[in-house]
Structure 1
Amino acid sequence: MAFMFLRETIRAYREKDPAARSDLEVLLCYPGLHALIWHRLAHAMWRWRLYLCARLFSHFGRFLTGIEIHPAARIGRRVIIDHGMGVVIGETAEIGDDVYLYHQVTLGGTSLARGKRHPTIGNNVIIGAGAKILGAITVGDNARIGSNAVVLAAVPAGTTVVGIPARPVERRPGRDRPSFDAYGTPAEGVLDPLLRDIDGMRAELAAFEARVARMVQSRAADMDQQAEG
């Protein structure tokens, strides 16, 4: 099982990171993979109720990689933590398969109560650098979280969200979703909601100016007729 985990995770890195030149390079030089290895050990100890040992292994993995994963967190298969420094994954967080996380991502809690208080991330989700997903919310399969977004509400499957607080963005008509969006944000083909609202306000303003111009022309014509009369 451990060998299968390493093999398929290394293959995922090779497929999604053009900088990865060999399996050995990924195994020796990728801190995201090292953090996941330490987490698997810590998580096994946590399930065996060796809580202090689990926390020590988790702490040691954090010391070596700069990636903090609570030993109770549940992480699926072929998960990639790219660059990794500053990633924080809380105790009750759950991450599905084929998820891609960049550096400084936080899966945090917003409650001091025990129980589920961290996010649940679906399959094939991309979370951009610096994104914060907070609370016991769900991010659906194939969702994209843009860099530095702050997500405080559930994200439906297949949705791209950006901004603070995070809000959905629309793709331009005729643009298909690519298989991979670097940093969780498509480089092109996206209608930002703020720009969309600004464009709508410009259109309304132009229409209002046209109405005012017609009213002024109509009033001037009426005054001319009265003067002639």
Structure 2
Amino acid sequence: MNIMKYIKEEIEVIKERDPAIKKTSEVFLYPSFHAILRYRLSHWLFLRKHYFLARWVSQRATRRTGIEIHPGAVIGSGLFIDHGHGVVIGETAIVGNNVTLYQGVTLGGTGKEHGKRHPTIGDNVMISAGAKVLGSFTVGEDSKIGAGSVVLSEVPANSTVVGIPGRVVKRNDKKITHPQDTLDQVHFPDPVRHELCRLLIRIENLEKGKGGLTLEALNTLEDERCRNCPDFMEDEL
């Protein structure tokens, strides 16, 4: 295990991604720096089946930083955890390269099932403060998860997700319109009103001596009259 390689990498990641940093020496005060370095060590031990030692290193890091990363999680290079307190990354989570997590993020499971039960996070994903990504599915690369969102299903690449439950509101830089966003809760089709209207029109036609017309012809006349009604909706025919 090349610990110096990881130290240099973490220094560069924090300097590059946090505009608040003024001097390189500040990096050593960042919870993210200590949590990720200890994760690298605990993961190395985990892969060699030193499970107790791996958990011991991991739990010490949690107590010191407030960031809990299971030694079994697979994390690529360039992970940056900003602020960090309350971040949880589960055992079977897979995190790609250059991912950014903010405080309170959970990459968790939805039950006690065995096997893959935590999410896979693609490269260059940003997950904002307090977001929960729960379950065994993939968040596609270059995606963003909004603060406080609860994501329970697959997220396509290059998407923006917000809300509880999380929903895609933008994909490939284009806004996504959901049916509930434009749902008209006033102007619903009214089949009873429509049938009453047809009945009145038929009575009117019969009174005008049009009883000799075929049923099909009467229906056509009624449809034409209904379409001229100010409150007509196409769904009613």
Same fold, TM-score > 0.5, yes or no:
yes
Structure 1 segments (4+ residues) deviating >4 Å: 190-194, 196-200
Aligned to 1:224: none
Question: Contact (CA 8 Å) 1:149, 1:162: kept in 2 or not?
Answer: yes
Give the % identical residues: 47
Aligned to 1:16: 17
Question: Contact (CA 8 Å) 2:118, 2:136: kept in 1 or not?
Answer: yes
Find out whether 1:41 has 2:41 as its counterpart.
yes
For 1:51, give the aligned amino acid: Y
Gaps of 5+ in 2: 188-227, 231-237
Question: Contact (CA 8 Å) 1:75, 1:95: kept in 2 or not?
Answer: yes
Find out whether 1:31 has 2:2 as its counterpart.
no
Aligned to 1:62: 62
Question: Which protein is bigger by CA-based radius of gyration?
Answer: 2
Find out whether 1:129 has 2:129 as its counterpart.
yes
The 10-residue stretch of structure 1 (148-157 or 110-119) with the greater mean CA deviation from structure 2: 110-119
**TM score, norm. by length of structure 2:** 0.73
Q: Which has the higher contact order (CA 8 A, sep 6+)?
A: 1
Q: 1:193 to 1:165 in 2, by over 3 A?
A: farther
For 1:16, give the aligned amino acid: R
**TM score, norm. by length of structure 1:** 0.76
Q: Describe the superposition over 1:149-174 as per-residue Cα deviations: whole angstroms up to 9, x where unpaired.
A: 10100101101100000001137xxx
Question: Contact (CA 8 Å) 2:54, 2:71: kept in 1 or not?
Answer: yes
Query: What is the aligned length?
Result: 191
Aligned to 1:93: 93
Q: Describe the superposition over 1:160-210 as per-residue Cα deviations: whole angstroms up to 9, x where unpaired.
A: 100000001137xxxx95xxxxxxxxxxxx85857x8555649x96xxxxx
Question: Contact (CA 8 Å) 2:6, 2:37: kept in 1 or not?
Answer: no
Q: CA deviation at 1:54?
A: 0.7
For 1:114, give the aligned amino acid: H
- Work out the CA distance in 2 between the residues paired with 1:193 and 1:166: 14
For 2:127, give the aligned amino acid: I
Partner of 1:169, secondary structure, is: strand
Q: Give the CA RMSD over aligned residues.
A: 2.4
